[in-house]
Structure 1
Amino acid sequence: MKTPRAFYQPLAIGAPAPLRELPVQLERMIHFVPPHVEKMRAKVPDLISKVDVVLGNLEDAIPADQKTAARQGFIQMARDNEFGTTGLWTRINCLNSPWVLDDLIEIVTEVGDKLDVVMLPKVEGPWDIHYIDQLLAQLEARAGITRPIMVHAILETAEGVKNVDAIATASPRMHGMSLGPADLAASRAMKTTRVGGGHPDYAVLSDEAGETARTAYQQDLWHYTVAKMVDACMSAGIKAFYGPFGDFSDSAACEAQFRNAFLMGCAGAWSLHPSQIDIAKRVFSPEPKEVAFALRILEGMPDGTGAVMIDGKMQDDATWKQAKVIVDLARIVAAKDPDLAELYGL
């Protein structure tokens, strides 16, 4: 455990100083691209204007014999494009894999000046973050990178969930965390093959009422973990994200799962298919009516103290804070999305 005084010191001579605050960045969807597929790389220039984050995936869903091609494809993708305000991330292979060292060494050396975030899979504890933190600092120093590369942890093992608070505070390099429901389900020995979303067998029954048929109410398998992740992230000043929703044919269920995560405090979710981009954009942008009402609260309580009545409902300093969360997000969205800026009146 580093002392508070040393927490923000670079971990290698010549490495950039760690950031004390996260950059203000709109990240409603983290869009996954398989960089070993040339026709998918060719779509990146068009994607940049449509998504908030482009992520080159090197881990799951990349065949073992294509790992090197995926790494080289990501480097080429980074070189060939200017991303502007759109984030450039990569999901590297897990720390116990034979590919991870080359992932980090080659990518940071070749295109580290363009890379915003490294997504680290299967994080089990703060020791995983400490390892990549030190290694990134050494590589940044060697490559002459002046801006620190952030780290995003995927919460997808029982051990990781148990250690979520320590992971969140392991390094000033921490950007946030994502729920990884498929691997987490396997780690917990859960009896489901679904990637995110609910399950019809995870339900409670209504009480017996004479001869009336009892109603089953489907529950959310991931509510506990998302809530625990959000609390850990918010208390550490980093971001929480819902991960993948695997059933591309069920857009309604995807939207419902994303909306639950948004309401609970998540900043965004993964989009694995083009159809999920607009879902995430819609869900993780506040609704214009909510923004309008939140603006009225802030206008009614300019200094955030006291209490006012708006439409017959009492608003006080607690609801002022809630309104500010919505308006602050709306301003970030409006800065990138002119159509929503007009709807918000911002």
Structure 2
Amino acid sequence: MKTPSAFYKPLAIGAPAPFRELPLSLERMIHFVPPHVEKMRAKVPDLIEKVDVVLGNLEDAIPADAKTDARRGFIQMATENDFGATGLWTRVNCLNSPWFLDDLLEIVPAVGDKLDVVMLPKVEGAWDIHYLDQLLAQLEARAGISKPIMIHAILETAEGVKNVEQIAAASPRMHGMSLGPADLAASRGMKTTRVGGGHPDYMVLSDEAEGVTRTAFQQDLWHYTVGKMVDACLSYGLKPFYGPFGDFSDDAACESQFRNAFLMGCLGAWTLHPKQIEIAKRVFSPDPGEVSFAKKILDAMPDGTGAVMIDGKMQDDATWKQAKVIVDLAKLVSSKDASLAEIYNL
């Protein structure tokens, strides 16, 4: 653990100083693009207008014989497009793979200040973050990069979940974390082949009562892990995200899983299919009715103290804080989405 005085110092001579506060960015959906596919790269200019984050995926779902093409394709799509306020991320291969080092050595100098975040898979402890932190600093210094590249960790092993707090505290480069349910299920020995979402066998039964049919209630397999991740992230000022939902045929279940994550504190989710973009946009933008009511609370309690009655409900400093979370998010959404800005009237 670095001492407080050294925590925000660059780890290489000539590297940019780390952020002391995360940049304010709207990241409702992190949209995955397979950069080795030319027709998918061709869609990036249109995607930039539709999503909050474009991510070039180099890891899972990319065949081994296409890893080099994916890396080169990401560099091409990064250099050929102006991303403006839309984030540019890449998910590199995991640390123990034969491709990780070339991913960083080639991408960082080629893409430079355009690259906002490196998503690191299968993070198991602070040591993984420390290694990438040092490597990024060295590459930034050598390439003359002026803006620090942030790190986003994927929680997809049992050890990673166990060490989630140490991961969150590992570096000032830490941007946030995402839940990776498929690899995590395998790591835990869970008996499911689903990528996110619920399972019909994970349930509780209502109590037995004479003459009453017992009702089964399906539970959320990921509730504990999401809660633990959110607490770790928010304790250190990081951003928590839900990861992938793999059943593209079940939009309702996707929306339900995203909404559970949103209510628990997640700021966004991965979108793997174009139709999930609108789902994420709808879910991770606050409801207009909630925004309107939250504005009433803030207007009635300008300094956030005391207690007032609004629409028959008591409001105090705790609900003022809740209202501020909603209104602040609505303002951030409004800065990018003109249609919602008009609805929110902010």
Q: How high is the TM-score relative to the length of structure 2?
A: 1.00
Q: Structure 1 unaligned runs (5+)? A: none
Q: Partners of 1:102 and 1:211 in 2: how far apart?
A: 66
In the other structure, the counterpart of 1:47 is 47
In the other structure, the counterpart of 2:284 is 284
Question: Are 2:156 and 1:119 equivalent residues in the alignment?
Answer: no
In the other structure, the counterpart of 2:194 is 194
What is the Cα deviation at residue 58 of structure 1? 0.0
Letter in 2 for 1:231: D
Letter in 2 for 1:142: R
Q: Partners of 2:29 and 2:209 in 1: how far apart?
A: 45
In the other structure, the counterpart of 1:269 is 269
Q: Partners of 2:329 and 2:296 in 1: how far apart?
A: 16
In the other structure, the counterpart of 2:107 is 107
Q: Partners of 1:300 and 1:108 in 2: how far apart?
A: 49
Question: Are 2:256 and 1:249 equivalent residues in the alignment?
Answer: no
**Count of residue pairs the alignment pairs up:** 346
What is the Cα deviation at residue 215 of structure 1? 0.7
In the other structure, the counterpart of 1:341 is 341
In the other structure, the counterpart of 2:215 is 215
What secondary structure is seen at the aligned counterpart in 2 of 1:123? coil
What is the Cα deviation at residue 213 of structure 1? 1.6
Percent identity (aligned): 83
Q: Partners of 2:330 and 2:311 in 1: how far apart?
A: 22
Residues 282-328 of structure 1 deviation map (CA, whole Å, 9 limit, x = unaligned): 00000000000000000000000001000111100000000000000
Q: Partners of 2:113 and 2:249 in 1: how far apart?
A: 38
What is the Cα deviation at residue 209 of structure 1? 1.1
Q: Structure 2 unaligned runs (5+)? A: none
In the other structure, the counterpart of 1:29 is 29
After superposition, where does 1:154-173 map in structure 2 within 5 Å? 154-173=154-173
Letter in 1 for 2:90: T
What secondary structure is seen at the aligned counterpart in 1 of 2:262? helix
What is the Cα deviation at residue 211 of structure 1? 2.8
What is the Cα deviation at residue 112 of structure 1? 2.1
In the other structure, the counterpart of 2:182 is 182
Residues 90-109 of structure 1 deviation map (CA, whole Å, 9 limit, x = unaligned): 00000000000000010001
Residues 10-44 of structure 1 deviation map (CA, whole Å, 9 limit, x = unaligned): 00000000000000000000000000000000000
What is the Cα deviation at residue 172 of structure 1? 0.1
Q: Partners of 1:205 and 1:312 in 2: how far apart?
A: 36
Question: Are 2:323 and 1:330 equivalent residues in the alignment?
Answer: no
Question: Are 2:309 and 1:296 equivalent residues in the alignment?
Answer: no
In the other structure, the counterpart of 1:4 is 4
What secondary structure is seen at the aligned counterpart in 2 of 1:119? strand
Moved runs in structure 1, 4+ residues, more than 3 A? none
Letter in 2 for 1:216: A
Q: Partners of 1:112 and 1:97 in 2: how far apart?
A: 23
Letter in 2 for 1:249: S
Q: Partners of 1:239 and 1:212 in 2: how far apart?
A: 45
In the other structure, the counterpart of 1:313 is 313
Q: Partners of 1:10 and 1:212 in 2: how far apart?
A: 66
* Aligned residues: CA RMSD: 0.4
What is the Cα deviation at residue 212 of structure 1? 2.0
What is the Cα deviation at residue 334 of structure 1? 0.4
